[in-house]
């Protein structure tokens, strides 16, 4: 079954953005099957761009800036995904620190109350 193409009007900025992301994917993605799709889409969109818009020096500069921004987003997305695993562990450890510090305080106060200490450790934190 042949997939039907969808044609939609988009702005030049949107088309340029899509092309710049495909150019990044062409450099970053190593799976040959995926690259076939990426190259095909890039070629089609690039030919659409060349049919409807004559590139100027100003356009090229803006496209290069847009591509740099998209590359930054790509890199930050990868970093975010790598950090996420460590962040989840950090959150668990932090919760355990709160839990055991609260338990420690309760136990110390029980010891002090049983022994009628003149001093009690007073703490007041927000509930977590």
Q: Does any domain span residue 2?
A: no
pLDDT of residue 128: 64
Q: Does any domain span residue 6?
A: no
pTM metric for this prediction: 0.69
For 100-109, which contacts have Cβ atoms below 8 Å and span 24 or more sequence positions? none
Q: Does any domain span residue 122?
A: no
Number of domains in the chain: 1
For Cα atoms 107, 111, 116, give the angle at the middle one, nearest 5 degrees: 145
Q: In this structure, are residues 98 and 128 in contact, taking their beta carbons and an 8 Å threshold?
A: yes
Q: Does any domain span residue 3?
A: no
- Tens-digit pLDDT profile for residues 40-52: 999 999 999 999 8
Handedness of CA 82, 83, 84, 85 (dihedral sign): positive
- Tens-digit pLDDT profile for residues 15-70: 999 999 999 999 999 999 999 999 999 999 999 999 988 889 999 999 999 999 99
d(CA 60, CA 100): 58
For Cα atoms 111, 113, 119, give the angle at the middle one, nearest 5 degrees: 95
Q: Does any domain span residue 120?
A: no
Q: Does any domain span residue 21?
A: yes
Q: Does any domain span residue 123?
A: no
Alpha carbon of residue 76 to chain centroid: 6
pLDDT of residue 125: 72
């Amino acid at each position: 079954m042949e997939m039907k193409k969808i044609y939609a009007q988009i702005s030049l900025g949107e088309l340029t953005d899509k092309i710049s992301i495909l150019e990044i994917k062409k450099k970053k993605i190593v799976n040959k099957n995926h690259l076939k799709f990426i190259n095909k889409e890039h070629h089609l969109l690039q030919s659409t761009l060349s049919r409807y818009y004559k590139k100027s020096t100003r356009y090229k500069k803006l496209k290069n800036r847009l591509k740099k921004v998209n590359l930054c987003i790509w890199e930050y997305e990868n970093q975010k995904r790598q950090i996420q695993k460590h962040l989840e562990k950090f959150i668990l450890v932090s919760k355990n620190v709160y839990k055991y510090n609260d338990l420690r305080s309760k136990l110390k106060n029980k010891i002090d109350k049983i022994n009628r200490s003149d001093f009690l450790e007073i703490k007041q934190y927000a509930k977590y």
